[in-house]
Amino acid sequence: MLHVDCARWGGTAEGLRHVALSAPHARTRERALALYEITQGSCATRVAARTGRHPQTVMGWVHAYNAQGPDTLAFRRTGGRRPLFARSAKPNSARRSAPLSARPRRHREKEPTRRRAGRCAASLAGCASASG
């Protein structure tokens, strides 16, 4: 039977429950709640079925917690593309090398306006070769 060893790390089942209710990231809360349910007598297979995870994933959380402690429950981004609207350490305006007011302004040299031809004269006249 799978056992969550809270005492080894100076914690309790209620401590896992507290983490499950207050952790900032949803995946950390999910892991802590799964371990809490196992301490309350549920098996990893039932917890996995309820959460939509594979049973080996839940067992891996238990083994990692028993071997390395509560820090293993925290979600860590390990790679891949960042989410589109992820919070960054600095806003875009703070990442610029110099404030906009300190940057020299680029002046475009005036060029003569180029006139472009509109629609092909053949298409306006209804020519059969221009229609496609």
Does the pTM surpass 0.85? The reply is: no
How many domains are contained in the chain?
Answer: 1
Residue with the bigger pLDDT between 5 and 107: it is: 5
pLDDT the model gives residue 96: 52
Residue 119, in any domain of the structure: no
For all residues of the chain together, what is the average pLDDT? Answer: 77
Residue 61, in any domain of the structure: yes
Residue 17, in any domain of the structure: yes
Residue 18, in any domain of the structure: yes
Residue 86, in any domain of the structure: no
Residue 34's pLDDT band (boundaries 50, 70, 90)?
very high
* Three-state SS annotation for the chain: CCCCCCHHHCCCHHHHHHHHHHCCCHHHHHHHHHHHHHHCCCCHHHHHHHHCCCHHHHHHHHHHHHHHCHHHHCCCCCCCCCCCCCCCCCCHHHHCCCCHHHCCCCCCCCCCCCCCCCCCHHHHHCCCCCCC
Residue 44, in any domain of the structure: yes
Q: Quick: pLDDT tens for 50-75.
A: 999 999 999 999 999 899 888 888 88
Residue 23, in any domain of the structure: yes
User: Tokens 């549920």, residue?
Assistant: 42
Residue 116, in any domain of the structure: no
* Domain hosting residue 29, numbered range: 7-73
